[in-house]
Amino acid sequence: MNHNPILIEPGELEPLLDDDKLLLVDLGKPESYAQIHLPGAMHLDYSLLLAGTKPAPGLLPPEERLAHLAGMLKLDSASRVVAYDDEGGGRAARLAWTLHYLGYPSVQVLNGGIRAWNNEGHPVSEDPVFLDNARTLPVASHDPTVLATREYVLEHLDDDGVVLLDARTPEEYAGTKAYAARGGHIPGAKNINWQDTMDPDRNLRLKGASQLQDMLTLRGIDPRQEVITYCQTHHRSAHAWMMLKSLGLTRVRGYAGSWSEWGNDPALPIEQGGS
């Protein structure tokens, strides 16, 4: 199976639109999709990527729902999936991360999403394309190196070869704002607000590689380490996972339970304060 860079630019994607084995997936708001989307793009409800159950709604869905997702996306026949959204890539990145977990690495995120595509004059459509909601495709194997579970995170808290990247706001990281029973962060985690990695002057593309690398260096994140990303529900941290992959890091996991799981479990250690 081909491995493509995690990001694709609008100008690179447009010549590929006639490829009948290319699958375009829109994860923006349904009302946005109804008004404008890439020609041939299918709309996918973001909730299909999540377990959706409290206290940790961001966990992966059950196996039968993953098989349903794989079937709807026709992963057995698509040569490449390109995902995009209308918010800077967080939802699209969650799909990319999920497909990597399902052993399908031929997936890319459109850098800048529909905003960059439309603002820069690429063709758009209003014609809906429908997913096959009845199709399932059982997945034979998963890539365990993509996922960090609560147990995995706990086991590696004192491992110098592993670092945690918290993609939430500084207030959530410090614990002054909490969306769980407890506020704060996982011990030792470094904080990079996912929005700080986007460039509003370039249609919410990721910032340049040198700027992003400087952010990591400032926080003592070494590309030779394994990096585990998390946020509240592994939405923002899926974007952080994508950002790290775009820089060439190969050992990157997403903690799907994220703070909604960790912060609601009184048995797990936390830290508060810091930046």
Same fold, 7-119 and 144-262: yes
**pLDDT for position 274:** 82
Sheet holding 226-230, edge to edge: 147-148, 252-255, 226-230, 162-166, 190-191
Task: Kindly report the average pLDDT of the chain as a whole number.
Answer: 95
Give residue 2's pLDDT: 43
| Sequence ranges of the domains in the chain | 7-119, 144-262
Tell whether the model's pLDDT for residue 87 goes beyond 80.
Answer: yes
Q: Which residues contact 15 (CB under 8 A, 6 or more apart)?
A: none
**7-119 topology per CATH:** Oxidized Rhodanese; domain 1 (3.40.250)
* Mean pLDDT, residues 156-177 taken together: 97
Q: Is the pLDDT of residue 229 over 70?
A: yes
- Distance set, CA 273 to CA 174, 177, 188, 270 (Å): 4, 11, 12, 10
pLDDT at 275: 65
Supply the CATH classification number for the domain 144-262.
3.40.250.10
Rounded to 5, what percent of the chain is helix, strand, coil? 35, 15, 50
Full-model pTM? 0.96
pLDDT digits (tens, 9 = 90+) for 117-135: 999 999 999 999 988 888 8
Q: What is the pLDDT of residue 130?
A: 87
Catalytic residue among 13, 44, 174, 231: 231
The answer on pLDDT for 1 being more than 60 is no
- In this prediction, residues 1-16 reach a mean pLDDT of 86
| pLDDT number for residue 245 | 98
- Assess whether 231 carries a catalytic annotation: yes
